[in-house]
Amino acid sequence: RRNFQDYMAVLASVKNDLMNNDTAAAVEKIQRYSKEPNNIPLKIAITGESKSGKSTFVSALRGIKSIGDEDEGAAPTGVVETTSEVTQYPHPKYPNVTLWDLPGIGTTRFKATKYLKLVGFEKFDFFIIISADRFRENDVKLAKEIQKMKKKFYFVRTKIDNNIRDEERKRDFSKEGTLRKIRDDSVQGLQKEGFESPQVFLVSSFEPHLYEFSKLQQTLERELPAHKSDALLRAMSNINQEIINKKKEAFQSTIKYYSTLSAAGAAVPVPELSVNVDLSMMASVVTDYVTGFGLDKQSLEKLAASSGVSYNDLCAVIKSELAKEKITKEFFMKMFISVAGTAALMAAEKVSRRISIIVTAASMGLSFTTTYLTLSYFLNQLADDAQRVFNRALETELSVFYHFHQI
């Protein structure tokens, strides 16, 4: 999904820096290139009538708990309208992804007819229209205006956990039947207003691994342009196995670029320069893996707070040392040496036959194949760790959920 011309320009520039013995410039260019996806802006507008759960939904998308607003940076919540102006909330790890908590539509101060112009609709990539029960007149008016502007919008029914809890008291309760009725009522109501195939998602902001939070995220990822989709995927919380797998696939797709950069530097007059650049580059890339999979300390602490599983218990299921230490070039060198003789890296000939890029690299530099296999090896390790952490956190959340619903 990267621009090939930009990539070739970086490749030529890095090779020139190494030929001139300018290691620092080469490292800086490669690190900047590796961070490029984190600079693609994605602006998401969250709107709806007051008290519909917008602020809690914003916090859920950002992976921040907002119960009582304990987390710094959580969107404030309350029984009265707490959003009186357009409020920007950058993602805590990927500030290029911003969620905009828009004022409650239909309030005295914000009328639907002037709403879009007031909030600056043109800057948003798409809109999410929130409702805690049925979608009302102002929601419909807003959606029709967004439609006229040829912007994407999605309807989200929040507080589904409350609906399920209320219905459970009835003798003939059926969870599937309750969800089907909520969906049918929402879709039919919107169809009566002229929306042919409205996209409606049923979610609980406090329990995003349940209901249709992941379906919403998958739809957004599918319908966004490729570069915007990558930005969204990186910012997603690991609320299911599919998101972890998609992150792994996205990371895997870029390894060939870094491997080619490694090979390009292999023929420089002083091979130690190439090795130095390779190690710095791979350390930077693997650090991005750790952050992307939510294995950094900040992410694990937030997950511990929201899941009820202690930070130490989450760390206990992590096997890779890369997720436990700050990844410096020196630390990465130790890790590289420790795995260099494993079966994964010994399979160089087999893997290289599946790679379509032809590389002519001097034997003294880190080869395309070695870099490719090294990054792939560590990526697989960290993806497995992300799955183990997800499973450990989910065990407690599900046990609490089922216990609560059996009371």
pLDDT for the residue 341: 56
Residue 397, pLDDT above cutoff 70: no
Mean pLDDT over 137-150 rounds to 86
Long-range Cβ pairs for the range 116-119 (8 Å, 24+): 116/142, 116/145, 116/146, 116/149, 119/45, 119/47, 119/86
Any residues with CB less than 8 A from the CB of 34 and at least 6 apart, and which? 258, 281, 284, 285, 288
Question: What phi and psi values does residue 236 have, to the nearest 5 degrees?
Answer: -70, 145
Residue 340's pLDDT band (boundaries 50, 70, 90)? low
Residue 223: pLDDT over 60: yes
State how far the Cα of 230 lies from the Cα of 254, in Å rounded to an integer: 12
pLDDT at 262: 72
State the pLDDT confidence band at 358, using cuts at 50, 70 and 90. Answer: very low
Q: Which of 10-19, 151-160, 239-248, 381-390 has the lowest mean pLDDT?
A: 10-19
> Please, which pLDDT band fits residue 265 given cuts at 50, 70 and 90?
low
Q: If 0-12 CB within 10 Å is exposed, 13-18 middle and 19+ buried, where does residue 162 land? A: middle
Higher per-residue pLDDT: 144 or 339 = 144
- 41-235 has which CATH code? 3.40.50.300
Across 16-20, 145-149, 190-194, 331-335, which has the greatest mean pLDDT?
A: 190-194
Say what the pLDDT of residue 127 is. 93
pLDDT above 90 coverage of the chain, percent: 25
What are the extents of the domains in the chain?
4-37+238-405, 41-235
Closest by CA position to 333, among listed 380, 267, 268, 277 = 277
Regarding pTM above 0.85, the answer is no
Do 16 and 268 touch, CB atoms closer than 8 A? no
Query: For residue 398, what pLDDT is reported?
Result: 45
Please give the mean pLDDT across all residues of the chain.
77
pLDDT at residue number 251: 92
**pLDDT tens digits, residue range 152-176?**
999 999 999 888 888 888 888 888 8
pLDDT tens column, 10-57: 667 766 766 666 666 766 776 676 667 677 899 999 988 777 888 888
Identify the pLDDT of residue 316. Answer: 94
Over residues 359-367, mean pLDDT: 42
What mean pLDDT do residues 314-321 have?
Answer: 93
- If one compares 98 and 5, the residue with the highest pLDDT of the two is 98
| Band (382; pLDDT cuts 50, 70, 90) | very high
Q: How is residue 97 annotated by DSSP?
A: E
* DSSP run (H or E) holding 11: helix 4-19
**How many Å apart are CA 101 and CA 52, to the nearest integer?**
12
329 pLDDT higher than 50: yes
Q: How many Å apart are CA 93 and CA 236, to the nearest integer?
A: 10
pLDDT digits (tens, 9 = 90+) for 282-315: 888 899 999 999 999 988 998 888 788 999 999 9
For position 359, what pLDDT does the model report? 38
Mean pLDDT computed over 305-329: 88
